[in-house]
């Protein structure tokens, strides 16, 4: 399961879900357009409903499903992300690509993801609050309405519920307004709200109104419309989502009209009653946006044209169609949800702090992130406080390396960057080991200069806050007579700790196989050496050193 740890990751995830939802709804639009003259409104409504439910479930599936990547899309993404593309060659020798971050990004640019999320939150809140206001209005009206238990009404409800194959209990409520438009809402316990003047309606109008509203209940139209409103809240920036929600409502009304006509009502009588209701009763208004009213003036003309056309298909959904459309939608949803776009493969923030042994931040240290899979290298440097950060890197396995002259190289071989997740590493650099090499020849031969020196050595400033030690007093080792007579030569490797007062401590011979006379000579000489102490942030510290003493019978070696 993926997490969205940063605003960049959340914005990328939202953008990717918006693109995938557009693909789903565009596919539904194509199918619905192809079915406009070949099937009933119930079939088109079923297609739009499946697409909206799939787009609403898309973010959850995208977070839960394991990611998969397409080779074709990966190649295309490489064109848009050339910095991390791994370019192959048939014969030329390849070298890793390098991306160097010299300075941090622009503060304005860094705030763009958070600002974009803020804008999205405003749009989401506006649409969601409008939906919540409509729901609150429905609850208020229903609470202040009285139940309708008239025998004629209840007998008609039971008869039509059997025709529409509704097994749930349907409540009839009579509101206080005599001019309120009939409407329905609710899922488990659906409600039909009628005006107070409904008691004076004739049997035909009563049957038409109830048949229309029960058709909505049979298809769960109110629940689907609420899902469409939620999809509009999430993807309010996508015009296709608004189109899908509008088409869903339109097709639900036409499908209900078809159901009324299939119940035995004549098309002319139905159109006449519908027109009279729209003319005499008040429309639901914006506060009723979540309810399904029988007569909305905005789409009556098209509904009249459809119900009076005898050539239009008014068939109900078959069991096969009910199952096939959701199955096909799921088959399209799952790979889309699991598919990662190139931008989704970026990790979250990669950052940390570098300290020296005293706890102070190390400035101008070089930090390298090496991706062994794609053979890329990303580099940056630490600021005055030792802090460093990378822009979002592609997900994968990396090796982290931190370097600063005078310090030992820090390596973290296994760094697994996950899409959308932050990675933070605090690094403590150890003082680097000093190296000293001395060549010893028998007495009477020309003594060579120490390896790597020319004249008198000077104190070297290695880094921003560390100064390396140097030898101020060196006693040259003496070639033992017994070893020289026996023709014995070799190299003695010593490990020592240079104390804060510059004296070698804890001398230890590293190569145990060396001749004892040579080892003793080297130890006796090095014990008398004196160093200037190594300074870290101006304070003397102990530091390890490795001293190599080469005993050679030939001074030219």
**Residues 182-193: pLDDT tens digits?**
889 998 899 999
CA dist., res. 202 & res. 7, Å (int): 60
pTM: 0.62
CB 466 within 8 A of CB 534: yes
User: Which residues, including other chains, have CB under 8 Å from residue 103's CB and lie 6 or more apart?
Assistant: none
List, in order of start, the domains of the chain with CATH numbers: 1-84+105-137+219-345 (no CATH), 350-428 (2.60.40.1120), 434-551 (3.30.2420.10)
- Given this model, what pLDDT does residue 81 score? 45
Provide the b/e sequence for 310-322 (b: ≥16 CB within 10 Å): eeeebebbeeebe
How does pLDDT run along the chain (557 residues), one tens digit per residue?
444 546 777 787 888 899 999 999 999 999 999 998 888 999 999 999 999 999 999 999 888 887 665 444 444 444 444 444 443 443 434 445 444 444 444 455 557 778 888 999 999 999 999 999 888 888 998 999 999 988 889 999 999 999 999 988 999 999 988 888 888 999 889 999 999 888 889 999 999 999 999 999 999 999 999 999 999 999 999 999 999 999 999 999 999 999 999 988 999 898 898 888 888 877 654 444 556 666 566 677 788 888 888 888 888 888 898 899 999 999 998 988 887 665 555 666 788 999 887 778 888 888 888 887 777 788 888 888 889 988 777 777 888 999 887 788 899 988 888 766 778 889 988 877 666 667 777 765 655 544 443 334 334 444 445 666 778 888 888 889 888 888 888 888 888 888 888 888 888 888 878 888 888 888 888 889 888 888 777 778 888 788 888 888 875 54
Average pLDDT, the chain: 80
**Residues 129-146: pLDDT tens digits?**
999 988 888 899 899 999
- Given this model, what pLDDT does residue 73 score? 43
Task: Give me Rg for the CA atoms of the chain.
Answer: 41
Provide the b/e sequence for 376-400 (b: ≥16 CB within 10 Å): bbbbbbbbeebebbbbbbbbbebeb
Six-digit token pair at 303?
């509904």
Neighbouring C-beta atoms of residue 118, cutoff 10 Å: 11
3-state SS, one letter per residue, for 64-117: HCCCECCHHHHHHHHHHCHHHCCCCCCCCCCCCEEEEECCCCCHHHHHHHHHHH
Tell me, what DSSP letter sits at residue 190?
-
CA dist., res. 494 & res. 510, Å (int): 6
- Given this model, what pLDDT does residue 110 score? 58
- Given this model, what pLDDT does residue 461 score? 40
Which contacts of 363-367 are long-range, i.e. CB under 8 A and separated by 24 or more positions? 363/464, 363/465, 364/404, 364/463, 364/464, 365/402, 365/403, 365/404, 365/407, 365/429, 366/402, 366/403, 366/404, 367/400, 367/401, 367/402
CB 397 within 8 A of CB 372: yes
* DSSP letters for 253-320: HHHHHHHHHHTT--HHHHHHHHHHHHHHSBP--GGGTTSEES--GGGHHHHHHHHT-TTS--PPPPHH
Neighbouring C-beta atoms of residue 343, cutoff 10 Å: 18
CA dist., res. 29 & res. 196, Å (int): 40
Nearest 5°: CA angle at 157, between 187 and 221? 30
Residue entry with tokens 């953008």: 15
CA dist., res. 488 & res. 552, Å (int): 8
- Given this model, what pLDDT does residue 49 score? 95
**Cα distances (angstroms) measured from residue 444 to each of 11, 239, 478, 479:** 78, 95, 11, 11
């Amino acid at each position: 399961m993926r997490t969205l740890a940063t605003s960049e990751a959340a914005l990328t995830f939202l953008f990717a879900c918006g693109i995938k939802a557009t693909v789903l709804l565009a596919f539904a639009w194509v199918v619905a357009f192809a079915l406009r003259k070949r099937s009933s409104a119930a079939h088109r409504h079923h297609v739009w409903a499946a697409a909206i439910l799939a787009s609403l479930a898309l973010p959850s599936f995208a977070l839960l499903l394991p990611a998969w990547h397409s080779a074709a899309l990966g190649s295309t993404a490489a064109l848009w992300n050339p910095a991390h593309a791994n370019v192959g060659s048939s014969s030329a020798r390849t070298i890793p690509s390098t991306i160097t971050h010299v300075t941090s990004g622009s503060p304005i640019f860094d705030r763009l993801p958070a600002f974009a999320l803020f804008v999205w939150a405003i749009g989401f809140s506006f649409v969601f609050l409008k939906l919540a206001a409509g729901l609150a209005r429905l609850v208020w009206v229903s609470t202040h309405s009285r139940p309708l238990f008239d025998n004629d009404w209840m007998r008609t409800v039971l008869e039509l519920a059997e025709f529409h194959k509704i097994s749930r209990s349907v409540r009839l409520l009579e509101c206080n307004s005599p001019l309120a438009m009939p409407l329905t809402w609710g899922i488990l316990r659906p409600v039909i709200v009628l005006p107070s003047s409904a008691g004076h309606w004739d049997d035909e109008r009563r049957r038409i109104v109830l048949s229309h509203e029960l058709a909505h209940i049979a298809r769960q139209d109110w629940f689907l419309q609420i899902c469409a409103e939620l999809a509009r809240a999430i993807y309010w920036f996508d015009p296709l989502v608004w189109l899908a929600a509008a088409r869903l409502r339109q097709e639900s009304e036409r499908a209900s009209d078809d159901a009324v006509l299939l119940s035995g009502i004549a098309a002319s009588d139905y159109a006449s009653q519908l027109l009279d209701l729209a003319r005499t009763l008040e429309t639901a208004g914006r506060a009723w946006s979540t309810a399904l009213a029988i007569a909305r003036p905005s789409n009556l003309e098209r509904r009249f044209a459809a119900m009076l056309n005898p050539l239009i298909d008014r068939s109900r959904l078959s069991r096969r169609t009910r199952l096939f459309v959701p199955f096909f939608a799921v088959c399209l949803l799952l790979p889309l949800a699991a598919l990662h776009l190139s931008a989704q493969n970026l990790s979250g923030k990669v950052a940390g702090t570098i300290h020296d042994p005293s706890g102070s931040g190390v400035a101008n240290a070089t930090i390298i992130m090496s991706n062994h899979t794609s053979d890329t290298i990303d580099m940056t440097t630490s600021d005055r406080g030792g802090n460093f950060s990378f822009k979002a890197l592609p997900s994968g396995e990396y090796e982290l390396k931190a370097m600063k002259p005078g310090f030992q190289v820090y390596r973290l071989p296994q760094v697994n960057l996950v899409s959308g997740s932050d990675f933070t590493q605090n690094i403590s650099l150890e003082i680097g080991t000093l190296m000293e090499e001395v060549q010893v020849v028998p007495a009477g031969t020309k003594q060579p200069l120490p390896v790597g020196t020319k004249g008198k050595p000077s104190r070297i400033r290695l880094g921003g806050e560390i100064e390396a030690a140097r030898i101020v007093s060196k006693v040259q080792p003496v070639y033992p007579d017994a070893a020289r007579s026996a023709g014995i030569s070799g190299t003695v490797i010593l490990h020592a700790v240079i104390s804060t007062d510059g004296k070698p401590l804890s001398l230890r011979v590293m190569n145990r196989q060396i001749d004892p006379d040579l080892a003793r000579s080297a130890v006796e000489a090095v014990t008398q050496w004196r160093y200037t102490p190594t300074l870290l942030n101006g304070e003397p510290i102990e530091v390890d050193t490795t001293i190599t003493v080469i005993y050679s019978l030939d001074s030219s070696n």
